[in-house]
């Protein structure tokens, strides 16, 4: 990325829409706009698709994170002296990630195979089989560019390292070994109530009053024991905050929304015949999704240019209206509309405010309320957290690990059969909402300490080694790589950490109020909210256009089968 | 597949169906011509395959193929390779047919037939089955076939049991899988296979397993069915047992030849009037048995030879198995004080209908005293009318009388029951009771209530075999009353069960008598069904008036009955009186104010195996002139029912059937009748 190659000039120079950044929302808008017969130029300064939604090789991830962790150098040249009729507003990027902490415990092993890894920048993330993004994939035929596999199970974890399977279906409740008979009965009756309600059966309608009340109150009213409440709230409805502590809960789930979540989960189970669980994960990582929409857009005529930084925004000197962008190559490209990756910011000439007409012309999208940050962690191990099962989700409900934990922590283990890592290895994605970096680190570390053996550094590594030697277990090599690389002989031993990346991501950035920015990766497990927001942006820029009309299906002979590979 | 609503066919679907029918008709015509002319050429056989692919239900085509196969196999140039190719062809045709309709009886049967020839690989069948059972895991054809295949390839029951478990874990609403499980377990129990030696170990695990299903979804039927099977396995002992007898052990039986006896030293409960010169010995088993005879049951007494005794089963169907068996001892004319010893099952031969040998040899003895007839006095008593009306009875309410009855009941069933009342059974039941109480505390559940009622009854019977009152009877009665309200569709069933419990409750507490025979009063209890006969063998007078009885099935066990009132019940037909034909001592019968004749069509005949169809056992030899009587031919039902009766007194007023003409027929059939509807007959 350092040596920017000579840029070929782009032709034509005028488009209906310029999209900068190939993250998921940008890619969907590019595809939708192309489908609506708009001419679209899609640019990305990176040499890969997906920007903050991408899946990167192991070696590239740290540099990508750190490139977005500092404010860039000040603009190279003052902009106002442009000879043309345009004012130049310089672009800058704002930091998205902070407290980046990369630890390598097996450098040789991993470095040599960096490209064998496809690590999601915005993990953990899965598709609910029945969620909007899957519908969108099917409707647009984009699914032909992707392959999925099933995430086989969901577990709830505790602070002792146990993973309890979530009884999320009738068969799972029947099979579950940890629930008592009474609990099984209560849970199943609750599911039936919800199903009856959703099916519109008259005699089991949930009252409007209940629907508007907090979900947790409704669960209490249904007499569900704490364990089951926790399953429903955090492992099925995927609530983020402690629902029983209104003091800390920033997002109190209403019964109505809780029921909707349950409906989504329920519809997801068994939707595809060869997906045993509720979730799907794409082969080669989540970055495939953005790329698939880019391919969809390209088929419809969207022009793609990667490795193309954009330096400035061109605005009409008189009216202050947006006119186009100046590329790093020096070329000016013009368009009616502009969509920007959220990390871009525009530096206004000091002391001036954006011209009023701009404010009106460009819609302003703010994400939902301030949600602070999200702490993310990526860990690589050589053994699965649970024998006999490789791809699964683990939820740590609030306060399940330590008393001050007020948010759910989610962990997704993905194995090499999804082509995200070296054969025999596992990638763990961990995330939790937090107020600040320290709190976030604490949350991620709590999970890692519960589930993994973390070799602290070379010194403590030696200590671990001598300990094992005393125990008389298998003779270990002297080199630290092999000692940390091989999993312990004892089957009970926790998986050993080989590599980890911990970082915090901003959930909201200060919005530039006259630039149409797409949302950044959110704290959710799936893409539902992102798709919603993206849809709204599209409607805003092209109010008269249909968002992927039904007839746009590329291959009408395809039966819309998104079922994953077995 | 299940739970899919049927949709009205679209016009294009209807058109397709018409086209298909046309094609089918053409094929069929050609097929039949081949079939009739016994043409088994390659082309003809191909045609039948085509037909079956479209319509697998065409069993004629299957039969044709069987003939064709036989034809090929009987050819002189037939060799193993040819056999194999012919049979493989058949399997392929069946598979195609099953693809069209995997619930085709004919296709599955044909496959069995081909496999039974023994030339084809059975392993392949298991793979095919896996495919079909994946497509529809509840397809009972596939499960049936699976049992056949598992047996042919000698697959172990344990492996199959594991398979049912896997299927159940996939979807526990699979009655076929549960059913197969019960079949496999039964086989393992029978074999006493490793790990299945005792029900004691296996059944609690199965209970635990089924609880998961029942608690998760109490609305699903399959779990309850399996639970019912488990309950049955828990309560029924394999080998039959003697439940009670008359006379019981230690009885002093006084036989009087007239109705009034003066031996006040004897209890009224064991004084028996007999005018037929014999008295019955009744054996009541806990399940239907066969093989009761003078070689399996020995009766030692001074006045009858054991070999002369003829044991007869008392059952509605005249089959050779019954719960109740009776033999008649002849009473010697002289004064007699003798001890009778009865040994049951000391030599083998008594076998339950399920094939288990009676294995609990027991012996009981009683004394018989014969009181000679006092001449002259009996003439009076015969003419005297017997009335069961309450004012004629004194109440036996005192403690002492009750305890007498109690002691009889105890004695009568004391034949080694203790040894078989295993602890684990009642423990298992107690656990189940606790479990279902919990379920009912969570939710209202009809089948849960019914199951709890059944469990409580089974528990009481098992845990307190000698108690006269059931500990939980009040609770059970309440459960059945609830169910009658909650589930009106099955009202009659609950009502019947309710009656059975009521009987257990009342049978010992109300007894009153006049002048000799004991009368058991079970009147006005709104009984809809009669039961508990094993404890009522001693009853000679029974008042069942003012109840809701529709049937008196089982009453034939009460061999001592001489006087029975069924006044004001809901008997709807003469055939309902069938059990009374076997009561040789019955002299007084009141069936007034029932509904006999209300319904021109006797539905009981369709519901039960018709009693009249086996009425060949009629013992009477009425002369031809009677049977040729026109009135009798019109009333052949009455003829068959009443011909064997030895009634002195009959009340039939208040039934639609009982017009004057009918009464005159009755008088013809029963010349011994002295009194009809309170009127003395000339």
- Whose structure tokens read 């029932």? B594
Residue B545 and residue B388 in contact, taking contact as beta carbons nearer than 8 Å: yes
A contacts of B135 (beta carbons < 8 Å): none
CB contact under 8 A, A184 and B438: no
Q: Which two tokens stand for residue B443?
A: 């939710």
**pLDDT score at A217:** 92
Strand partners, A394: A155, A411
- Residue A398 has what pLDDT? 93
pLDDT in tens, B371-419: 665 544 443 344 445 555 544 444 443 333 444 444 444 444 444 444 4
Q: CB–CB of B171 and A185 under 8 A?
A: no
Query: Quick check: B518 and B511 in contact, CB under 8 A?
Result: yes
Domain spans, chain B: 29-155, 174-236, 242-371, 424-505, 512-611+626-681
The Cα of B94 is separated from the nearest Cα of chain A by a number of Å equal to 27
- What is the rounded CA–CA span in Å between residue A444 and residue A158? 14
Which chain A residues touch B436 with a CB distance below 8 Å?
A: none
In the CATH scheme, what architecture does the domain B512-611+626-681 have? Alpha-Beta Horseshoe (3.80)
Q: Alpha carbon of A324 to those of A16, A86, A270: distances in Å?
A: 10, 9, 48
Q: What is the mean pLDDT of residues B264-275?
A: 58
**B169 contacts in chain A (CB < 8 Å):** 171, 174-175
Contact A24, A293 (CB under 8 A): yes
In a mutational test of the A interface, the residue from B216, B441, B447 whose CB has the highest number of chain A CBs within 10 Å is: B216
Nearest Cβ partner of A170 from B217, B218, B435? B217
Residue B587 CB coordination number (10 Å): 22
Cβ-defined contact of B435 to A181 (cutoff 8 Å): yes
Chain B: residue whose CA lies nearest to A172: B169
Instruction: Say whether B442 and A174 touch across the interface (CB within 8 A).
Output: no
Dihedral sign computed on CA atoms, order B300, B302, B307, B310: negative
Q: Report residue A116: phi and psi, to 5°.
A: -75, -5
Q: List B residues 203-242 in contact with A (Cβ-Cβ < 8 A).
A: 211-213, 215-218
Confidence band (pLDDT; 50, 70, 90) for B259? very low
B527-547 confidence digits (pLDDT tens)? 888 887 887 888 888 889 999
Residues of chain B with Cβ-Cβ distance to A188 below 8 Å are 215-217
pLDDT of residue B657: 86
Kindly report the nearest CA distance between residue A416 and chain B, in angstroms.
Answer: 27
| B128–A contact, CB cutoff 8 A | no
- Tell which of A176, A181, A196 to mutate to test the B interface (max B CBs under 10 Å): A181
**Mind listing the pLDDT tens digit for each residue in B475-519?**
999 999 999 999 999 998 999 889 888 877 765 544 443 344 567
CB contact under 8 A, A182 and B215: yes
Read off the DSSP letter of residue A236: I
* Option in B169, B211, B215 nearest A175 (CB): B169
Residue of A173, A174, A176, A180 to mutate for B, most B C-beta atoms under 10 A: A174
Residues 6+ apart with CB under 8 A from B22: none
CATH code of the domain occupying B242-371: 2.60.40.1220
Q: Which of B171, B211, B217 sits opposite A188 (nearest CB)?
A: B217
Residue B169 to residue A171, Cβ atoms within 8 A: yes
Contact A189 B443 (CB under 8 A): yes
Per-residue pLDDT of chain A (566 residues; tens, 9 = 90+): 445 556 778 888 899 999 999 999 999 999 999 999 999 999 999 999 999 999 999 989 999 999 888 765 555 554 444 556 777 888 877 788 999 999 988 877 777 888 889 999 998 999 999 998 999 999 888 999 999 999 988 999 998 888 998 988 888 899 988 889 999 999 999 998 888 898 887 777 888 888 999 999 999 998 899 989 999 999 999 999 998 887 777 788 899 999 999 999 988 988 888 888 889 999 999 999 999 999 999 999 999 999 988 888 888 877 778 888 988 888 899 998 888 888 887 766 655 555 544 444 444 444 444 568 999 999 999 999 998 899 999 999 999 999 999 999 999 999 999 999 999 899 999 999 998 899 999 999 999 999 998 886 543 343 334 333 344 433 333 333 333 333 333 446 789 999 999 999 988 754 545 567 888 888 899 998 889 889 988 888 888 888 988 754 444 433 444 444 43
- Is A184 in Cβ contact with B216 (below 8 Å)? yes
Query: Does B443 sit within 8 Å of A181, measured CB to CB?
Result: no
**Span B233-241, average pLDDT:** 81
CA–CA separation, B547 and B591 (whole Å): 12
Q: What is the pLDDT of residue B403?
A: 42
Q: pLDDT, tens digit, for every residue of B301-341? A: 877 788 888 898 887 666 788 889 999 888 776 667 788 88
Residues from chain A that touch B174, judged by Cβ atoms under 8 A, are none
DSSP string, B116-163: HTS-S-SHHHHHHHHHHHHH-TT-HHHHHHHHHHHHHTT--HHHHHHH
Q: Do A184 and B212 touch (CB under 8 A)?
A: yes
Contact B217 A171 (CB under 8 A): no
B679 at A interface, C-beta within 8 A: no
Supply A345's token pair.
Answer: 């910011």
pLDDT at position A231: 92
Per residue in B568-600, pLDDT (tens digit) is: 999 988 888 888 888 888 888 999 999 988 876
Q: Which residue of B has its CA nearest to A184?
A: B216
Residue B603 has pLDDT above 70, yes or no: no
**Residue in B closest to A171 by C-alpha:** B171
Q: Which domain holds residue A179?
A: 169-268
**Is there a contact between B169 and A188 if contact means CB atoms under 8 Å apart?**
no
Q: Which residue has the higher pLDDT, B273 or B658?
A: B658
Percent of chain B with pLDDT over 90: 21
- Domain at A230, CATH number: 1.10.405.10
Number of H helices, E strands in chain B: 22, 19
Dist. CA B35–CA B32, nearest whole Å: 5
A501 in any annotated domain? no
- Rounded Cα gap, residues A553 and A559, in angstroms: 11
Q: Out of A174, A181, A189, whose CB is closest to B172?
A: A174
State how far the Cα of B206 lies from the Cα of B226, in Å rounded to an integer.
9
Give me the pLDDT at residue A514, please.
56
Instruction: Give how many domains chain A has, as a whole number.
Output: 1
CATH of domain B29-155: 1.25.40.120
Report yes or no: B471 at the A interface, CB cutoff 8 Å.
Answer: no
Give pLDDT, residue B625: 45
Alpha-carbon distances, residue B79 vs B76, B82, B93, B585 (angstroms): 9, 5, 21, 73
Rg value, chain B, Cα? 31
Given this model, what pLDDT does residue A560 score? Answer: 40
Report yes or no on whether pTM surpasses 0.90: no
pLDDT the model gives residue A421: 92
List all residues of chain B from 140 to 179 with a beta carbon under 8 Å from chain A: 169-172
Q: Could you tell me if residue A554 is inside a domain? A: no
Total beta-carbon pairs less than 8 A apart between chain A and chain B: 40
Instruction: Kindly state whether B477 is in contact with chain A, defined as any CB-CB distance less than 8 angstroms.
Output: no
| Candidates B169, B213, B442; nearest CB to A182 | B442
B436 touches chain A (CB under 8 A): no
Cβ partners under 8 Å of residue A205, min gap 6: A197
Please report residues of B whose CB lies closer than 8 A to that of A175.
169, 212
Q: Residue A171: its chain B contacts at CB < 8 A? A: 169-172
Tell whether A201 is covered by a domain.
yes
pLDDT for A88 equals 82
Interchain pair A181, B212: CB under 8 A: yes
User: Chain A within 8 Å of B434 (Cβ-Cβ)?
Assistant: no
- Interface contact A185-B169, CB threshold 8 A: no
**Mean pLDDT, rounded, for B196-208:** 84
């Amino acid at each position: 990325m350092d040596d920017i190659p000579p840029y070929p000039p782009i032709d034509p120079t005028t488009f209906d829409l310029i999209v900068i950044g190939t993250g998921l929302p940008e890619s969907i808008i590019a595809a939708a706009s192309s489908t609506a017969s708009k001419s679209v130029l899609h640019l990305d300064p990176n040499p890969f698709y997906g920007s903050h939604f991408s899946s990167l090789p192991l070696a590239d991830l740290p540099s990508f994170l750190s490139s977005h962790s500092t404010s860039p150098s000040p603009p190279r040249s003052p902009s106002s002296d442009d000879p043309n009729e345009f004012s130049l507003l310089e672009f800058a990027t704002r930091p998205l990630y902070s407290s980046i902490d990369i630890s390598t415990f097996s450098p040789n092993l991993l470095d040599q195979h960096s490209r064998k890894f496809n690590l999601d920048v915005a993990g953990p993330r899965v598709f609910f089989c029945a969620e909007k993004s899957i519908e969108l994939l099917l409707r647009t035929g984009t699914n032909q560019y992707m392959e999925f596999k099933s995430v086989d199970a969901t577990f709830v974890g505790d602070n002792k390292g146990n993973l309890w399977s979530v009884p999320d279906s009738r068969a799972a409740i029947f099979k579950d070994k940890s629930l008592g008979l009474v609990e099984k009965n209560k849970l199943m009756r609750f599911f039936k109530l919800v199903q009856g309600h959703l099916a519109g059966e008259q005699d089991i309608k949930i009252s409007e009053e209940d629907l508007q009340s907090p979900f947790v109150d409704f669960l209490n009213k249904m007499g569900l024991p704490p364990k089951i409440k926790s399953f429903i709230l955090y492992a099925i409805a995927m609530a983020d905050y402690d629902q029983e502590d209104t003091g800390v809960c920033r997002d109190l789930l209403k019964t109505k929304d809780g029921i909707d979540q349950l409906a989504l989960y329920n519809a997801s189970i068994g939707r595809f015949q060869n997906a045993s669980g509720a979730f799907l994960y794409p082969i080669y990582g989540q970055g495939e999704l953005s790329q698939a929409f880019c391919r969809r857009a390209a088929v419809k005529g969207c022009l793609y240019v990667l490795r193309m930084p954009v330096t400035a925004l061109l605005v009409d000197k008189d009216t202050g209206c947006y006119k186009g962008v100046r590329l790093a190559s020096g070329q000016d490209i013009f368009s009616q509309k502009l969509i920007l990756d959220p990390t871009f910011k525009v530096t206004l000439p000091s002391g001036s405010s954006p011209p009023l007409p701009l404010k009106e012309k460009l819609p302003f999208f703010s994400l939902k309320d301030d949600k602070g940050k999200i702490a993310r962690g990526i860990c690589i191990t050589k053994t699965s957290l649970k024998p006999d099962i490789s791809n699964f989700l683990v939820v740590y409900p609030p306060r399940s690990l330590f008393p001050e934990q007020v948010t759910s922590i989610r962990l997704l283990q993905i194995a090499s059969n999804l082509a995200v890592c070296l054969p025999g290895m596992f990638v763990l994605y961990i995330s939790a909402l937090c107020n600040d970096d320290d709190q976030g680190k604490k949350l991620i570390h709590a999970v890692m300490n519960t589930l993994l053996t973390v070799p602290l550094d070379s010194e403590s590594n030696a200590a671990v080694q001598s300990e094992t030697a005393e125990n008389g277990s298998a003779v270990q090599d002297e080199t630290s790589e092999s000692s940390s690389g091989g999993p312990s002989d004892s089957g009970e031993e926790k998986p050993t950490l080989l590599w980890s990346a911990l970082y915090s991501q901003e959930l909201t950035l200060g919005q530039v109020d006259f630039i149409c920015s797409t949302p950044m990766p959110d704290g959710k497990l799936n893409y539902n909210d992102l798709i919603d927001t993206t849809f709204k942006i599209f409607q805003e820029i092209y109010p008269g256009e249909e968002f992927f009309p039904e007839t746009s299906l590329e291959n009408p002979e395809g039966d819309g089968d998104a079922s994953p590979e077995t | 597949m299940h739970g899919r609503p049927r949709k009205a066919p679209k016009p294009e679907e209807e058109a397709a169906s018409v086209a298909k029918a046309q094609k089918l008709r053409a094929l069929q015509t050609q097929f039949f011509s081949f079939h009739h002319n016994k043409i088994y050429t390659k082309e003809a056989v191909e045609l039948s395959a085509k037909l079956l692919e479209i319509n697998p239900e065409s069993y004629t085509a299957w039969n044709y193929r069987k003939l064709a196969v036989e034809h090929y196999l009987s050819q002189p140039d037939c060799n193993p390779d040819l056999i194999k190719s012919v049979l493989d062809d058949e399997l392929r045709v069946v598979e195609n047919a099953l693809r069209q309709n995997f619930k085709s009886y004919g296709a599955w049967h044909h496959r069995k037939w081909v496999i039974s020839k023994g030339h084809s690989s059975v392993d392949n069948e298991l793979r095919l089955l896996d495919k079909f059972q994946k497509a529809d895991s509840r397809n009972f054809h596939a499960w049936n076939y699976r049992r056949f295949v598992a047996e042919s390839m000698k697959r172990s029951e344990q492996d199959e049991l594991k398979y049912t478990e896997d299927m159940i874990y996939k979807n526990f609403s699979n009655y076929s899988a549960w059913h197969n499980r019960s079949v496999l377990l039964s086989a393992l129990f029978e074999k006493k296979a490793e790990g299945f030696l005792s029900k004691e170990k296996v059944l609690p695990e199965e209970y635990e397993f089924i609880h998961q299903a029942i608690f998760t979804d109490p609305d699903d039927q399959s779990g309850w069915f399996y639970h019912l099977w488990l309950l049955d396995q828990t309560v029924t002992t394999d080998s039959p047992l003697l439940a009670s007898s008359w006379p019981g052990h230690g009885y002093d039986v006084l036989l009087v030849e007239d109705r009034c006896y003066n031996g006040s030293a004897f209890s009224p409960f064991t004084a028996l009037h007999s005018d037929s010169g014999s008295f019955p010995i009744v054996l009541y088993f806990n399940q239907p048995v066969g093989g009761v005879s003078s070689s399996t049951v020995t009766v030692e007494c001074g006045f009858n030879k054991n070999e002369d005794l003829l044991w007869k089963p008392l059952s509605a169907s005249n089959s050779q198995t019954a719960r109740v068996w009776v033999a008649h001892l002849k009473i010697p004319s002289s004064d007699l004080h003798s001890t009778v010893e009865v040994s049951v099952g000391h030599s083998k031969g008594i076998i339950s209908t399920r094939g288990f040998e009676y294995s609990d040899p027991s012996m009981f003895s009683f004394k018989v005293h014969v009181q000679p007839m006092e001449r002259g006095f009996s003439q009076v008593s015969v003419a005297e009318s017997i009335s069961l009306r309450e004012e004629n009875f004194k109440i036996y309410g005192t403690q002492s009388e009750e305890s007498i009855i109690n002691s009889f009941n105890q004695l009568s069933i004391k034949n080694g029951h203790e040894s078989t009342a295993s602890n684990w059974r009642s423990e298992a039941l107690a656990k189940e009771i606790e479990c279902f109480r919990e379920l009912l505390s969570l939710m209202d559940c009809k089948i849960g209530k019914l199951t709890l009622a059944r469990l409580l009854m089974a528990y009481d019977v098992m845990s307190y075999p000698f108690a006269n009152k059931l500990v939980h009877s009040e609770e059970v009665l309440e459960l059945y009353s609830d169910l009658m309200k909650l589930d009106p569709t099955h009202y009659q069933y609950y009502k019947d069960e309710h009656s059975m419990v009521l009987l257990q409750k009342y049978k010992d507490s109300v007894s009153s008598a006049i002048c000799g025979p004991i009368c058991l009063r079970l009147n006005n209890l709104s009984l809809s069904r009669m039961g508990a006969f094993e404890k009522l063998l001693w009853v000679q007078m029974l008042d069942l008036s003012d109840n809701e009885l529709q049937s008196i099935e089982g009453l034939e066990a009460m061999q001592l009955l001489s006087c029975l009132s069924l006044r004001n019940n809901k008997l709807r037909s003469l055939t309902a009186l069938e059990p009374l034909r076997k009561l040789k001592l019955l002299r007084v019968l009141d069936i007034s104010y029932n509904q006999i004749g209300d319904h021109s069509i006797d539905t009981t005949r369709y519901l039960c195996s018709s009693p009249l169809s086996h009425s060949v056992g009629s013992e009477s030899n009425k002369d031809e002139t009677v049977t040729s009587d026109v009135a009798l031919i019109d009333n052949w039902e009455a003829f068959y029912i009443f011909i064997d009766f030895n009634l002195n007194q009959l009340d039939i007023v208040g039934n639609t059937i009982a017009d004057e003409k009918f009464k005159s027929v009755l008088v013809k059939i029963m010349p011994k009748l002295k009194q009809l509807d309170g009127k003395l007959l000339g």
